[in-house]
Amino acid sequence: QVQLVESGGGVVPPGRSLKLSCAASGFTFKISPMHWVRQAPGKGLEWVSFISYDGTAQHYGDSVRGRLSISRDNSKNRLYLQMDSLILEDTAVYYCVRDGVRGSLDLWGQGTLVTVTS
């Protein structure tokens, strides 16, 4: 079954860290560029980060650059998002997403909720 399953979300106070994980199955993960996209409660979609198929290139949105770090382990079919110095505005559902043709995002996980609260 082709799917992405996120885990690692939770409730954390501001300034703390959290690491999200995404397990990929049913497709060739090692050749697939990947993204993280987030959605704050009641808000729209916000692109967070991209990683190339081999992990050599990463890109970040302006609001997270320097605090969030994307990585992957192709031997485990896993994508990660290390979240440091969390702020209230990082509260959102975080989706693991596969890169598709011509810049599309063709496969989404179910999402994992991160709540930053004091």
Q: Output the CA–CA distances (angstroms, integers) from residue 96 to 15, 30, 67, in the order listed.
A: 23, 15, 18
Residue listed under structure tokens 């890169």: 99
Give the span between the Cα atoms of 3 and 25, in whole angstroms.
Answer: 6
Give the span between the Cα atoms of 107 and 109, in whole angstroms.
Answer: 7
Per rule CB under 8 A, is residue 95 in the interface with other proteins? yes
Nearer to other proteins, 27 or 47 (CB): 47
Among 18, 22, 32, 35, binds other proteins (CB under 8 A): 35
Nearer to other proteins, 33 or 75 (CB): 33
3-state secondary structure of 103: helix
CA atoms within 13 A on the CB side of 86: 23
Per rule CB under 8 A, is residue 59 in the interface with other proteins? yes
Per rule CB under 8 A, is residue 62 in the interface with other proteins? yes
CB 82, min distance to other proteins, A = 18
Site residues (vs other proteins, CB under 8 A): 33, 35, 37, 44-47, 50, 57, 59, 61-62, 95, 100-106, 108-111
